[in-house]
Structure 1
Amino acid sequence: MKPQQDLLKVISEDLMPVTEIDIKALAEIYDEKDIYLSVYLSVSGRENEHLNRIFVDSRVKSIKKALSPELRSEFEKTFEMAEPSIIEEAISGERGRIIFACSSESFLHVYRLAVEPEQSLVLDTSPFLLPLARLRADYEDYGVLLVDSQEAKFTCIRSDLAEEKKHLSIDLMNKHKKGGWSQMRFNHLRKGAIKSFLSEVADNVRGTCDQLQTRGLIIAGPGDAKQQLIDLLPQDIRQSVIGVIDVSMDISRDELVEEGDSVLHKNELSRSAKKAAEFKNALLRGGLAVYGVENVKSSLEQARVNVLLILKGSSVPGWICERCQNLQANVQAPKECDRCGGLTSVVDVVEELYELAQRTGAEVEFVEKEDFLDSDDVVGALLRY
């Protein structure tokens, strides 16, 4: 499928969260020939500039040697289109860059990231999305509510980009001056003011979370106000809390991101382990689950997959015919498809299964080896029916 007109050129001038990249739309794009160039680079520091140049030059030479004269000419035009974005200096805070390009379709996407992707340069029949998918799994959007008894700050963290979205505070000393009151009376009024303030914070959390659509919420800060706030949160918001951390109110933004990422990573490991356990339990009961490339591929083609499970870091060699979408694993690519006679391309079958999951609306979960099957299989699926 050719790219939609509004997707032909997307060039980010500023840092972009990986969750803002429309991966589902990119997964819809493919051609019968290897015409789409995908580049993933780390761009922070002078050392990376030199290493990137060596890596890119090596990959370009290898790709040219493997192409027919016709496709080599097309690739050279595409690389010429992408090269300025490959060598361009990093902007402030930029640590990674993703480039998708195709000269014949006038297609160019450039994304500047605050996180580092796996280094890769691939020519394929479609944009190569697996490294992007892994980034999205590692850097989901989440909120951090930094709170004490007098102040609350809601910060949204997206791909290590932190932006304060809400700030509430109360001046307890001026609101309740002690004067001639007894200590008991003063403390009672102060506690009431704190509870009123935290109730206001709790009321604001729902609207902020709904607006930002974050996956989870971390409650942070010193003292007891964190737990008091959690007790005041609506039940559904309370269930979205993925961690509670003790930090000072004057924590730096970088430190807050580091602390938040640590909580998110642990939560992600727990979530993927639960999905893997659910998958294995379904297999034990003879329930709605399949494993192995062929069974998973067949289920995806029938849009039966609810959750696609992929072993982290895995790949499976194979080939695809983009004309009829015939996908075969662990076999050498013939010159022509045995179904329709179309051209074939060497692919990573795991990447193709991921793209198929995107097209059919399946959730994707990357799982650790120790949580997955005790076999050589690298993919499994929980089914809808």
Structure 2
Amino acid sequence: MNASRMITFDMIRELREFANGRNLITSLYLATVPERGDFVERANRMFDDALDRLERFDYTERQKESVRNDIAKLREFVREVLPAEVKSTVPFVVKGIAAFSSTSRNLFRVHYLPRPLRERLVFDYTPYIRPLTLLLDEYKRYLVVVVDHKKARFYEMFMGSIVDAEKLVDINLKARFKSPPVRLKRAYNYLVAEHLMRVVDVIDMLMATRNYDLLIVGEAKPVRGQLQLYLPFRLRQKLAGAFVADPTDPIERILNEARKIEIEVEKAEERKLVEELKRRLAEGELAVAGLRDTLDALMHNQVQTLIVAEGFEAEGVRCPKCGFLGVDEETCPSCGAETYKVRDVVDDAIEEAIEQGVGIEHVIQKELLEGIGSIGALLRFPEMQEAEQ
């Protein structure tokens, strides 16, 4: 089994390569947050339903047997392995999984998620990876650099996980220079400056070639504040923050300090986004708020960015024929069919936004959206009748 708490575009590309048009791949998305109840029971219902659906498809018996084996493996994983993983909080609390299995292709991969995605089980010739792709777009990828007077370590941080990226040791800086005598101070300072400039060169290369969004710097006390002085303007613009650390510190401490900065960045961006939403609402520009108006805009393909308070749920209705989503309409305003109730229309709205290629922002600071219904959207264009006036 291949399990990971970090998702990269390379991993998604590898998943795509398993598709060959002949073998079926089973994709499972499962939420593990307590407020949704026992995830093992929900998963078992999904597995049983999938086995029933499988028999209605015109697949070969060999293909069906592969899917049955996939479901058996996934069922065992959810029952035997996942409960312990959910209890772990390092490097983040697991709030969901995306799992992919194909017995005929020798594939079984599990990705732990920092927030739940819509639950579903799909078997098809290609892995269902669109939700993961959107999740990648939603989170920023950080280059974390920890430096002292002669060493530097480079980490990649994404979605609450951190891994080693590069390591640099300047052998010109001998141990005797740790506390240099006065006569060697100038030489020592020169070598430290040379080392820091080499570190900046590596930062520049990594930021350019690996497409990191932001930079976080950890500096040992003897060089605190010095690395930032050598950063060119284009890198200073990417600097999210700095903290005190040593390259020999445990990776858990590095992650903890870097996450503090990441959380502050996320909060600031959330505030900026919600402020823009409220400004547009106040000035009558391209924005809506509240469940009814947001669903209406989504149904008219007006939404540019859907903004939802983390964990917000609400009952609603759905049309079985055209997929219309609403709050309480008994008949569909689009095709006239009778609607049916859904437990969480917000989840359906997020799925519809995914299908439309709409940007989705989950706001962790729920209080920012409390006064406007916990959901809203920035629009691409106004309603047609408004635009024609």
TM-score in same-fold range (> 0.5): yes
Range that drifts further, 69-78 or 288-297? 69-78
The answer for the alignment partner of 1:142 in structure 2 is 142
Tell me the CA shift for residue 363 of structure 1: 2.7
Tell me the CA shift for residue 155 of structure 1: 0.6
2:4 to 10, 15, 18: 15
What is the distance in 2 between the residues matched to 1:160 and 1:259? 12
Q: Does 1:374 align with 2:371?
A: yes
Q: What's the CA shift string for 1:111-141, capped at 9, x where partnerless?
A: 4235565598557999999997997699643
Give the partner amino acid of 2:349.
L
Tell me the CA shift for residue 244 of structure 1: 1.1
State the TM-score, normalizing by the size of structure 1.
0.69
Q: What's the CA shift string for 1:258-287, capped at 9, x where partnerless?
A: 222232122212211121112112212222
What is the distance in 1 between the residues matched to 2:68 and 2:140? 31
Other structure's SS at 2:311 match: coil
Which stretches in structure 2 are left out of the alignment for 5+ residues? Answer: 17-25, 58-63, 87-93, 382-389
The answer for the alignment partner of 1:84 in structure 2 is 73
Tell me the CA shift for residue 227 of structure 1: 1.9
What is the distance in 2 between the residues matched to 1:271 and 1:200? 32
Return closer, same or farther for 1:19/1:191 CA change in 2, 3 Å cut-off. Answer: same
Please show how residues 2-151 of structure 1 align to structure 2 within 5 Å: 13-15=2-4, 17-20=6-9, 38-40=28-30, 53-54=40-41, 56-57=43-44, 59=45, 81-88=70-77, 90=81, 97-99=97-99, 111-113=109-111, 118=116, 122=120, 140-151=140-151
Other structure's SS at 2:371 match: coil
Q: What's the CA shift string for 1:214-249, capped at 9, x where partnerless?
A: 332211132153422122212232122222111232
Return closer, same or farther for 1:204/1:241 CA change in 2, 3 Å cut-off. Answer: same
Tell me the CA shift for residue 164 of structure 1: 1.9
CA contact (8 A) 1:19 1:141 kept: no
CA contact (8 A) 2:310 2:366 kept: yes
CA contact (8 A) 2:299 2:324 kept: no
Other structure's SS at 2:221 match: coil
CA contact (8 A) 1:18 1:139 kept: no
CA contact (8 A) 2:286 2:378 kept: yes
The answer for the alignment partner of 2:162 in structure 1 is 162
Return closer, same or farther for 1:174/1:233 CA change in 2, 3 Å cut-off. Answer: same
Return closer, same or farther for 1:370/1:159 CA change in 2, 3 Å cut-off. Answer: closer
Q: Identity rate of aligned residues, in percent?
A: 20
What is the distance in 1 between the residues matched to 2:333 and 2:299? 18
Tell me the CA shift for residue 340 of structure 1: 7.2
Return closer, same or farther for 1:156/1:288 CA change in 2, 3 Å cut-off. Answer: same
Other structure's SS at 1:372 match: helix
The answer for the alignment partner of 1:199 in structure 2 is 197
Return closer, same or farther for 1:342/1:284 CA change in 2, 3 Å cut-off. Answer: closer
Return closer, same or farther for 1:158/1:182 CA change in 2, 3 Å cut-off. Answer: closer
Range that drifts further, 74-83 or 123-132? 123-132
CA contact (8 A) 1:16 1:113 kept: yes
Return closer, same or farther for 1:130/1:260 CA change in 2, 3 Å cut-off. Answer: farther
What is the distance in 1 between the residues matched to 2:305 and 2:232? 29
What is the distance in 1 between the residues matched to 2:312 and 2:114? 19
Tell me the CA shift for residue 289 of structure 1: 1.6
Question: What RMSD in Å do the two structures reach over aligned CA positions?
Answer: 4.9
Higher relative contact order (CA 8 A, sep 6+): 1
Other structure's SS at 2:72 match: helix
Give the partner amino acid of 2:219.
G
The answer for the alignment partner of 2:266 in structure 1 is 268
What is the distance in 1 between the residues matched to 2:296 and 2:113? 35
What is the distance in 2 between the residues matched to 1:341 and 1:137? 36
Q: What's the CA shift string for 1:287-346, capped at 9, x where partnerless?
A: 2221133433444455543322111111232344475332223456x7x99717699784
Query: How many pairs were matched up?
Result: 342
CA contact (8 A) 1:144 1:157 kept: yes
Tell me the CA shift for residue 156 of structure 1: 0.6
Q: What's the CA shift string for 1:180-211, capped at 9, x where partnerless?
A: x9935x21222122222212211221220232
What is the distance in 2 between the residues matched to 1:307 and 1:19? 23
